[in-house]
Chain A
Amino acid sequence: MTTSARSPGDVILALEHISLSFGGVNALSDISFDVREHEVRAIIGPNGAGKSSLLNVINGVYRPQHGTILWRARRRHGMNSHDAAAAGIARTFQNIALFKGMSVLDNIMTGRNLRMKASFLEQAVWIGRARREELENRAKVEQIIDFLEIQHIRRTPVGRLPYGLQKRVELARALAAEPSLLLLDEPMAGMNVEEKQDMCRFILDVNEQYGTTIVLIEHDMGVVMDISDRVVVLDYGRKIGDGEPAEIRGNQAVIDAYLGVAH
């Protein structure tokens, strides 16, 4: 292969003038930004800035009151989450949302759900299409297990794993859907330095190996500046900065929002 999958391409997702409110609370006000194919796009901002709401708008959990979303040049007012998943958008959650009693393998298999076409009856008697699909899906899941280096916990119930590994399993489940856009909500929250470094490496590897576009929310500035191509900064539901890491680092509004400013 001659070209790197990491060189950013065309805009695949554009948000135009998105506003979202819950009753009298404006979670997002007039937010516009775009995401290019194959890039790592970070969303940062203080607590309550509206970062998670924004992710929820992108994958259709929330419908914004105003504004439109362009997904691969198709305009839509809002997606529902099933459409988003079918369109190739996968995500992980700020608070881990795995099936605690199920094994790592089974959890990741649930990420293949949309790819399973066999009927209930076929699956029940384990014949024909159901069998073939299971083998295919299992093979794909094994590749992801290998990729994220979690072979040793394949059969372990998720509830017994430490937090850092649960995060990795959640990433694995999102990857199992073979997404073209991956939304990561604070993938490194609560991790120690070593776990963070591992996670960074996995995110970059996913981006490089599969060319997956990644939108992530993260608080650790060092991480954000290291791994993202472009950064959006939110504060109180407004966009206060957008650009490459070097630009953002020098942006006065961003510095004020993070460090506080004397009024």
Chain B
Amino acid sequence: MEERLDTFPRLLLHHARTRPDAPATREKDLGIWQTWTWRQVADEVRALACGLAAQGFGRGMHLAIVGDNRPRLYWAMIAAEALGGVPVPMYQDAPAAEFVFVLNDAEIVYALVEDQEQVDKLLEAKAQVPTLAHIYYDDPRGMRNYEGVTSFERLLELGREFDRAHPGFYDEQVALGRGDDVSGMLYTSGTTGRPKGVRQTHAAFIAAAKGSAGFDRLQPSDNVLSYLPMAWVGDHLFSYAQWLYVGFTINCPESGETVMIDLREIGPTYYFAPPRIFENLLTQVMIRMEDAGRVKRSLFRHFVDVARRCGAEILDGKPVAPGDRLQYALGNLLVYAPLRNVLGMSRIRVAYTAGAAIGPDLFRFYRSIGINLKQLYGSTETCAYVCLQADRGVKLDGVGIPAPGVELRIGGNGEVLVRGPMLLKEYYKRPDATAESIDAAGYFHTGDAGYIDDDGQLRIIDRAKDVGKLASGALFAPNYIENKLKFFPHIREAVAFGDGRDHVCAFINIDVGSVGNWAERRGLPYSGYTDLAAKPEVYALIRECVEQVNAQLAGEPGLADSQVRRFLVLHKELDPDDDELTRTRKVRRGFIAEKYAVLIEALYAGRTVQHVETLVKFEDGRSGIVAADLRIEDAATFPAQSAKAA
């Protein structure tokens, strides 16, 4: 009899039957990696599903899931789906006030959360969420005196009792599931307006998992580290859909702070990280190298230069001079292999980055030391599965070729349109938004402006709605400029303005780690971000970066007018808690423009100093005012060049 492997609960049962003792999930707990086999996971999921059923959870209902990447939270998603319910993972670091919208929008009655911190937030939100009735928690620490909430252990107990009383129940429920049932609802990060619940089916995520697993030849023996927010579509694809489709092992870190240590211990073979994590890793290495002895430092410099010259070409299988090859082999022995080991990347076969543009130096660095870092393109609405780069087709400016099963075309206004099995079913309770984004021909409008280049790779320019025009009529793509700025390790965030204006101005956020280190080396004292950001020396440092970007822009066709004429270094870091960034750290342009209108005005009015007061929220939930007199500086611009100078 042909087994129908068209839902995630069925995939789990399939692995439990065919490879019962293979490792499915690992978690580091009390200093030791604990392993659960597929059979054990299937048993836990069964008990959990029965427990939820005993509590009245069933078909069509939503289960909110909030917490760091814990095995039980992943299992809870399968349990909810087994009953025909829909897991709704939520961003665990959002404050209670932000929970309210999603909880109400999804009409959450049942929530399963990690620990006391999340329980507290849900209880706080509960006053405004009338439907919320059942809260379950995984970690019992500090939960002794709570009433009206249930422990995970208790839920399992209830489930085992229920299972004994209704022995056929679980299998019946799993048999009821269909591939086109909704398997999960992920909320968009909401760069503009309210987040929207994206409803995805089993079929869509399984299609995405199947396509990408075939493309990169993922194996059951692969290992991934599951450390990115569970509410993010990338994690849902890499740590959930692909996990259950391929049957590899997911590894949950001990805590958010131990990720880098755990990465080294696990040595994943398949790895995904947004550019900022690759950047942080490299910054740490560079800072530590500066503290190393002279011999080591010069050895490192020499071989990094060798790698820069030929490393990426060797990885791509391109012809390289024998002398360089020899040098690279030596470098691999002395520098690259140990470095990969320190980074926890010794065993990586495939690494992906996405979510933001990656800096050219950064990208090339990782590839040059032999790490197969590639780019992909996708979104919540497309199961993070639209374009992938093939092993020999990696380049910086592209995001890859259309993935298997995906049809891609460019709309009349330059917008990227996609069609395929991985598309969303709908936005929850938003037929208007669904109709707006999926056209009659079944193409999803991504909202990104891009084009297909000569190699057939998709290139993304910017968000279509962000692309504007300068007063001169020249194209203004703020993201493009901001990314160029952010490629400098000293610049953490940048926001460019210019739509409808004569020229471009920018806000800069310095990177405290990198600039702080730079300041320490120069014996420059500072007391914190605000103080450091205001130093004339730091302004000079940033101006240099801005001017380098201007020089690059001057050399690119049509972008000479986009050079940044004036800039300021913000007195506070842009923060999701202050609504300036989304939870996935994308700039909320409109909000920032409104909040700092006085600064924008000062930039364009030619003032050199502007006083500003800003309300900030601290991590403990209190808020206060940060005031500063911000300096505004001019940056040199360059005449346009018709072609790039050699």
Contacts and interface: CB of A to CB of B under 8 A. Distances in A.
A is bound by B: yes
B141 A147 contact: yes
Given A142-B30, A194-B619, A4 B145 contact: yes
Contact of A142 (B31, B141, B144, B620): B31
Contacts of B620: 193-194, 197
Nearest to A204: B142
B258 A151 contact: yes
Contacts of B145: 4, 208
Nearest to A146: B30
Contacts of B144: 1, 4-5, 208-209
A176 interface: no
A83 interface: no
A108 to B, nearest CB: 12
Nearest to A154: B31
Contact of B141 (A4, A5, A205): A205
Interface in B217-260: 254-255, 257-258
A189 B436 CA distance: 58
A154 B260 CA distance: 13
Contacts of B141: 147, 205, 209
A17 B141 CA distance: 40
A8 to B, nearest CB: 15
Nearest to A140: B30
A152 B28 CA distance: 12
B261 A143 contact: no
Contacts of A224: none
Interface in A9-29: none
A208 B255 contact: no
Interface in B254-307: 254-255, 257-258, 261
Interface residues of A, number: 21
A145 interface: yes
B30 A208 contact: no
A145 B620 CA distance: 23
Contacts, number: 40
Nearest to B139: A146
Contacts of A147: 141
B319 to A, nearest CB: 44
A149 interface: yes
Most buried by B among A4, A146, A149, A197: A146
Contacts of B257: 151-152
B82 to A, nearest CB: 31
Contacts of B619: 194
A246 interface: no
Interface in A128-156: 138-139, 142-143, 145-147, 149, 151-152, 154-155
Contacts of B30: 139, 142-143, 145-146
A138 B145 CA distance: 29
A260 to B, nearest CB: 30
A209 B31 contact: no
A224 B258 CA distance: 32
B419 to A, nearest CB: 45
Nearest to A138: B31
A152 B261 contact: yes
A151 B253 CA distance: 11
B364 to A, nearest CB: 30
A194 to B, nearest CB: 7
Given A194-B619, A194-B620, A197-B620, A151 B31 contact: yes
Interface in A184-225: 193-194, 197, 205, 208-209
B304 to A, nearest CB: 26
Contacts of A155: 261
A210 to B, nearest CB: 11
Contacts of B31: 138, 142, 145, 151, 154
B69 to A, nearest CB: 15
A5 B258 CA distance: 32
A151 B255 CA distance: 7
Contacts of A194: 619-620
A151 B142 contact: no
Contacts of A149: 255
Interface in B125-175: 141-142, 144-145
B71 to A, nearest CB: 16
A134 B286 CA distance: 38
A205 B142 contact: yes
A165 B43 CA distance: 40
Interface in B11-47: 29-32
B480 to A, nearest CB: 37
A5 B145 CA distance: 10
A187 B587 CA distance: 40
A212 to B, nearest CB: 14
Nearest to B29: A146
Contact of B142 (A143, A154, A193, A208): A208
Nearest to B254: A151
Nearest to B145: A4
A141 to B, nearest CB: 9
A154 B30 CA distance: 11
A142 B258 CA distance: 14
A168 to B, nearest CB: 13
Interface of B: 29-32, 141-142, 144-145, 254-255, 257-258, 261, 619-620
10 contacts: A142-B32, A149-B255, A151-B31, A151-B255, A152-B257, A155-B261, A193-B620, A208-B142, A208-B144, A208-B145
Nearest 6 interchain pairs by C-beta: A152-B257, A142-B30, A142-B31, A152-B258, A151-B254, A151-B258
Given A151-B31, A151-B254, 12 more contacts: A1-B144, A5-B144, A138-B31, A139-B30, A142-B31, A142-B32, A151-B255, A152-B255, A194-B619, A208-B142, A208-B145, A209-B141
